[in-house]
Structure 1
Amino acid sequence: MNELRLRRKFSLGLLVNPFAGIGGALALKGSDGANVRKQALDAGAEQLAMQKTHIALNECINEVGVIDIFTGSGDMGETTARALGFSVKVLHTPLNQQTEIEDTLTLLKAFLAHKVDFILFAGGDGTARNVCSVIGTRMPVLGIPAGCKIHSSVYAITPKAAGKVLSQVVKGELLSLQDAEVRDIDESKFRQGQVLAKHYGEMQVPLSLSYIQAVKMGGKESDELLLDDIADYVLELMQDHEEHYFVMGSGSTVAAIMERAGLTNTLLGVDVIFNGEVVANDVSAQQLLALTRNKPTKLIITLIGGQGHIFGRGNQQLSAEFLRSIPRSNIILVATKAKLQALGNKGLISDCGDADLDTDLSGPISVITGYKDQVLYFVRGDA
């Protein structure tokens, strides 16, 4: 394959609800509840969630060497992943053969603790609800449809389609991220002939789509509109996190955010904002460390230069020590889709002078490309 690879492996959180859809063929209208699952098993119902997970993962069979799968033991994912030759790390072992919601929630919390890159889960709307309750929009997910009820838009249209999208994510292809709705119905009402679907939240799902740009690309006016959209979204995020210090990196895209906010900006420097006001312009690396030490901090950065650098070119004030002091999830990357598309599959580059940190920073990352518009791209680890 010609795509540049990440130095560290892609970490995939895999969750399989072994009993998803078990009541469908028996007209039980779902599989929620231990009694329903037992009734279905006693009647000879076949568990298909593992088979559907196998179909999905098989689409990534060429990526076996670059994926580490974090999962639950046995039917929760381990058996299927090992059968296909993937590297597997078991994070949870259920106490009983018949898994319960508590097992799902425990495994999801383990995914967060291990900071996996992406979550793939097999189930129905009940499983999606469980995933949403723990993960929310903190990391991208994708569902393999395996349940009786699929009202949620977080699922791919087929297991094979789920695998194809996952393969694109692992390869580092540029995909849009969409807030997808999680819905579920009351199974007891459903068995009585009533369909009452309720909204339970949203999760971020990658879309394998061609880009449809709202404004024409390339002209000065369209560039300004795109930057205004990005700026408006980032400023909303700032208002929602007033308790954070915001470190504004170098570059014209970040400068557009500062201009939109009416704040003094250092185009080729680093500025610091707190509570909507500039507290320091053009700070040095040591000044930045002193200002943000032991304070909740988010970093706004963009691509510097034409090669896709995010660290190590024009923003050396963002030292390795500073970057280690903030969670990776607090790094907010902004760029137009045109800039990302110009990179193709080259990926973004972190060259902060600390090879281990560059590796830690590699992997999929969400990029704000417009107002409430994000894409999933990747940071290379081989700079």
Structure 2
Amino acid sequence: MSFKLGLIINPYAGIGGSLALKGSDGKAIREQALAMGAVQLAPERTRQALTLLLPYQQQLQIVTASGPMGEDLCREMGFSTQVIYQSPAQSEAEDTENAAKAMLTEQVDLLLFAGGDGTARNICRAVEDRVPVLGIPAGCKIHSGVYCVTPKAAGRLVEMLVQGELVSLLEADVMDIDESAFREGTVRARRYGEMRIPSELRYVQAVKMGGKESDELVLEDIAAHVIEQMDEQLFIMGSGSTVAAIMTELGLENTLLGVDLVQHQQLVASDLTAAQLLDAIDGHDVKLVITLIGGQGHIFGRGNQQLSPKLIRVIGRDNILLVATKTKLKALGGRPLIADTGDAELDKQLSGLIPVITGFHDEVLYPVASPD
């Protein structure tokens, strides 16, 4: 299965650091740094991360911006490269944002970017939490929690994802300081939002017992995470025991091998057919809660045929809440989840990394593949 990696390099990140300019934000500072002989370090730091991915060139497709924002380095290193944004010779903050927005339309599995806190702010403004991101530290200021500790650490983490290892998703703060105030000796840090980042899987949570997950406590945590999101929207509750645990926490009757409809945490309808589901959701915002069905990791096509291709298209991939314990995912032995909806094109659209809710505010990224 191929991995689609979005890449954005801020070529001017960190350019003022070695010259004691206290940052790189703003055209004037950049021009001053260049006039003083500053060296662009971001491309080289990106190279350090990408070097670890060279063994996976057959599995990896890099989606990037033209020239120094990514294309030049990727082609030089021999990666399969698709340019989806044409940047000017001297890129600005809006080019970072526009390139990031273009990545969303390409449905990249991960957006990797090189820069500093200003770059992180630009990325956050463009994508918010709609795609997992990861920062390669290349700026003067690295206060944001979206960056790895080193470029090689970023490469290792991407390697884990490409290899299909379980990697947790965390919410990380995007921080920045006022450079003008900083140059006057005052540090004014401000939070600008948060983005989802992959992090190494750690089993250090309250749901552990004796080094292993306690299924009952994990299911309660998963249920709490989903229930917290239930508001005005309609929630289609798929089949399977993990979804049944959510219904139990809600105190609602559940169709174990069927599909139910919930709104305002109340049961609206039970055991609906494909046609009834389409009629019920017409004109509503909808989320779909599903789990793994069958021993081969199927999320569609085994025991939940009521979830028709037409219904899934209406709901959209971003509104699918996939729930499973980490133990259940580990039992797959690294095999991808399978989407077998009966619509080959839809199966391809569903492929790629997907967040799996594995506890309360705890998610991991796991690959989905189509049958072919």
Interval of TM-score (by shorter of Structure 1 and Structure 2): over 0.9
User: Which residue does the alignment assign to 1:364?
Assistant: 353
Q: Structure 1 length normalisation: TM-score?
A: 0.93
User: Which residue, 323, 337, 356 being the options, matches 2:326?
Assistant: 337
Is the 2:98–2:126 Cα contact (8 Å) retained in structure 1?
A: no
C-alpha offsets along residues 81-137 of structure 1, whole Å, 9 cap, x if unaligned? Answer: 111111222222223x22111111111111112222210000001101111112122
Deviating runs (4+, > 4 A) in structure 1? 217-221
**What is the CA-CA distance between 1:375 and the residue it aligns to?**
0.8
Q: CA deviation at 1:294?
A: 4.2
1:12 equivalent in alignment to 2:44: no
Greater RCO (CA < 8 Å, at least 6 residues apart) = 1
CA contact (8 A) 1:217 1:338 kept: no
Per-residue displacement from partner, 1:160-202 (whole Å, max 9, x unpaired)? 1101111111222111111111111111111111122111111
Provide the residue aligned with 2:305 in structure 1: 316
2:182 is matched with 190
2:125 to 133, 137, 151: 133
For structure 1, the residue ranges without an aligned partner over 5 or more in a row are 1-5
Read off the aligned partner of 1:212 and give its amino acid letter: V
- In the aligned structure 1, how far is the partner of 2:311 from the partner of 2:326? 28
Give 1:278 deviation, angstroms.
2.0
Secondary structure of the residue that 2:230 maps to in structure 1? helix
In the aligned structure 2, how far is the partner of 1:331 from the partner of 1:221? 24
Q: Which deviations, in whole Å up to 9, do the C-alpha atoms of 1:12-53 show, x marking residues without a partner?
A: 211110000000110111100101000110111000101111
1:52 aligns with 2:45: yes
Bigger mean CA deviation after superposition, 121-130 or 167-176:
167-176
CA-to-partner distance for each residue in 1:356-381, whole Å, 9 max, x for gaps?
A: 22222111010111111111111123
Distance 1:325 1:43, change over 3 A: same
Deviation at 1:218, TM superposition (A): 9.2
TM-score by length of 2: 0.96
Gaps of 5+ in 2: none
Aligned length: 372
- Mapped partners of 1:62, 1:217: distance in 2: 38
Are the equivalent residues in 1 in contact too, given 2:298–2:340 (CA < 8 A)?
yes
1:300 paired residue number: 289
Per-residue deviation at 1:295? Answer: 2.9
In the alignment, which residue of structure 2 is the partner of 1:375?
Answer: 364
- SS of 1:234's partner is helix
CA contact (8 A) 2:207 2:213 kept: no
Alignment of 1:343-358 (within 5 A): 343-358=332-347
Q: Deviations over 1:210-236 (max 9, x none)?
A: 422423359999322211111111011
C-alpha RMSD over aligned residues: 1.8
2:17 aligned counterpart, secondary structure: coil
Listed as ranges, the matches of 1:115-154 within 5 Å are: 115-154=107-146
- Determine what percentage of the aligned residue pairs are the same residue: 59
Contact 1:363 1:381 in 2 (8 A): no
Provide the rounded CA distance (Å) in 2 between the counterparts of 1:15 and 1:113. Answer: 15
* Counterpart secondary structure, 1:325: helix
